[in-house]
Structure 1
Amino acid sequence: MLRHTLRASAAALALLLPFAAACGGEAKAESSSDLSSVTLRVGATGWKQEEAILRFAHLDDTPYKVKWSLFQGGDQQLQAVRAGALDVASSSEIPPVFAAADGKPDFKVVAVQRATTLNQEVVVPKGSPATDIAGLKGKKVGYVQNTTAHYFLYELLKRAGLKWSDIDAKPLLPNDGLAALNGGGIDAFASYGTSIITAHRQGARTVGSGADILSGNFLWSARDSVLKSPAQRAATADLIARITKAYAYVRDGHEDGFAKVTAEATHQSVAQAKSDLVAAQNQRPTQARTVGDDTIASQQKVADAFTELGALKEHLDVKSFWTTELNTDLKKVL
């Protein structure tokens, strides 16, 4: 039924879009109903969870092609977008801030995906005497730069009465940070997702969490060239909607099946994978929403924190790289 509904929505969209394109001046030469020639290059972080969940929910039969590329962080995805190697990136609120800091972004945030903020933690290795963030004063603390880890580590330090300068902060990629944590190169590590799951499996303990610090807004960013193409815009909106519907399918009694998929990809037990999946969806069901003033204001708060930290040289007005251009297409297919 879910598949049928989506196909019906896609069919309706195909009927409507030529009329919208015909009103678009120069854009009318390209019909957005013709998606067969579109290839979207889309980024994923940690493991290709979005690709996997679409396949699991039988929603991967897109009328356009999707080329997924795996990255260790959303910051790398935004770098790839700016380099012309990706069309669409998924990230937290933080990477677009730094990608736009030079004042010449060639991308826009086009949609928001509400999602869990669990597994966003500061961890210490087995045997560490540290029991909280205050215990990290003077210690070597790894973090994934220009990501959620950078932000929640800064906020956790402030809550503990510490300054950024009170720790020896070491920017590291997730895999490098795990190796340094296990090898004694750092005393703690702020990271997210699969790297935190792996750290716990290796005996690490949590001393701080970003669960209640992060907004739960994860952003879809697209190259400006995507927004200029009615067909690519329609395909992007359709893909984002499919991911939302795939998560709804999992929540509708299919947690066991997707837990098996997750367990295989993340090298954990099926029981643990299901526990994490259920906890994540209970905390905040994964679903897309359109751009609004509140989502822009949420990222502005994050950008202001990085200005305060000194990571941004000057104030950044984030609304300069947001757009509502995808809102109409996305509302039609959600």
Structure 2
Amino acid sequence: MSHAPARTRRTLAAAAASVTVLGLLAGCGSDSADAGEGGKPVLRVGVQKDGIRSVLTEAGLLEDLPYEIEWSEFTAGPPIIEAAAADQIDVAWVGSAPPIFGAAADAAFKVVATVEERDQKQDSILVPEGSDVTSVADLKGKTIAVAKGTSGHGHLLLALEDAGMTLDDVEPQYLAPADGLAAFQSGEVDAWAIWEPFVTQAVQEDGAVNITADQGAATDPYLQFEIASSASLEEEDTRESIEHFVGLLEEGFAWAVDNPEKWGEGWAEESGLPSSTTIAVATSKAADVVPVSEEHIASEQQLADAFFEAGEIPVEIDFADLVEPGLID
């Protein structure tokens, strides 16, 4: 196995672990109806290292808004769902699994739009360069880092099932992305189930090998969702702001299809990730922000059922009950 230089490893870990001051403040909450500077209402938006701020900025869509945006950065989707349910943020983007785990915990949020990636690929299972693991079947008995309740968790579950195995056949280590990265780099785990842009970063800088690169939507729950706090949706003014913001995302990602390099450069500046990583991901990650369709609901229901049958969530859920229509055409 080859290793990145220590300075590079520290840079990667810092990039994966970074949480902005606003993200830390998100736990304190705020009233989205409160006016910000200039008397405008405030829209509280949760983000990850997902390039949301940069795509909207680079597309010129954050100028002269009818509200001010208070950004809060989180490490993964599950804490975003918790923050929305606690009325600490109004709206945010998460992967396929966090809404399922949130619903199983009876969290107060709704799914308002789908982010549909055109390549139908978001998550991967990585092994170190030189590993004797070359397929999912080889993971039997191996230790795998994964963030619980995330799309990476869903991908691991479905990929194992596709190979005739279950989570009982491996040793999951439920770690946040920063901790998963550190464990992967140090050799403390045999594999890492993770999403973009961390997949591309690890392949580029650590020489990681993607053993599920050729697996598509059957094992990769690639759908992502814009979610909103139930309390925020019940406030007329905030609901209008959320609807406007979802429209901005629709415009921003339509712009990004034709301008991936500009998006990638802005994403690198925003996140601290290398531009080589963000430009590569932006180039491959053409996406459409669309209403939640019956097909999306069916796909998520299959994932929810798989999580329940595997004992990963305590109750069955009906994904259709989570959907709040009407915020995007």
User: So what's the TM-score if we normalise by structure 1?
Assistant: 0.79
**TM-superposed deviation, 1:41:** 1.1
Aligned pair partner of 2:208 in 198, 204, 207: 204
CA distance in 1, matches of 2:122, 2:206: 15
Instruction: After TM superposition, list the pairs within 5 Å mapping 1:183-222 onto structure 2.
Output: 183-200=186-203, 201-209=205-213, 211-212=216-217, 213-222=219-228
Q: Secondary structure at the match of 1:208?
A: coil
Q: Would the aligned equivalents of 2:87 and 2:232 in 1 still touch at CA under 8 Å?
A: no
Q: Would the aligned equivalents of 1:138 and 1:166 in 2 still touch at CA under 8 Å?
A: yes
CA distance in 2, matches of 1:145, 1:196: 17
Whether 1:50 aligns to 2:70 is no
CA distance in 2, matches of 1:216, 1:195: 15
Aligned pair partner of 2:243 in 217, 237, 242: 237
| CA deviation vs aligned residue, 1:217-275 (integer Å, no higher than 9, x gap) | 211111122221222111111111112212222333x33322322344453354x5434
| CA deviation vs aligned residue, 1:82-132 (integer Å, no higher than 9, x gap) | 222211121122111111213x33211122222254351100112211111
Aligned pair partner of 1:182 in 182, 185, 189: 185
Aligned pair partner of 2:284 in 251, 273, 279: 279
| CA deviation vs aligned residue, 1:171-208 (integer Å, no higher than 9, x gap) | 11111001001112111010112322232111211112
Aligned partner of 2:108 in structure 1 is 106
Aligned partner of 2:328 in structure 1 is 330
Whether 1:124 aligns to 2:127 is yes
User: So what's the TM-score if we normalise by structure 2?
Assistant: 0.80
Moved more, 182-191 or 241-250: 241-250
Whether 1:169 aligns to 2:176 is no
Q: Would the aligned equivalents of 2:196 and 2:281 in 1 still touch at CA under 8 Å?
A: no
In structure 2, the CA distance between the partners of 1:263 and 1:87, relative to structure 1 (3 Å rule), is: closer
| CA deviation vs aligned residue, 1:11-57 (integer Å, no higher than 9, x gap) | xxxxxxxxxxxxxxxxxxx9xxxx9642111111225x111111111
CA distance in 2, matches of 1:119, 1:92: 9
Q: Would the aligned equivalents of 2:253 and 2:288 in 1 still touch at CA under 8 Å?
A: yes
CA distance in 1, matches of 2:91, 2:290: 16
Q: Secondary structure at the match of 2:159?
A: helix
Aligned partner of 1:78 in structure 2 is 81
Fraction of identical pairs, as percent: 28
- The Cα RMSD (Å) is 2.2
**TM-superposed deviation, 1:215:** 4.8
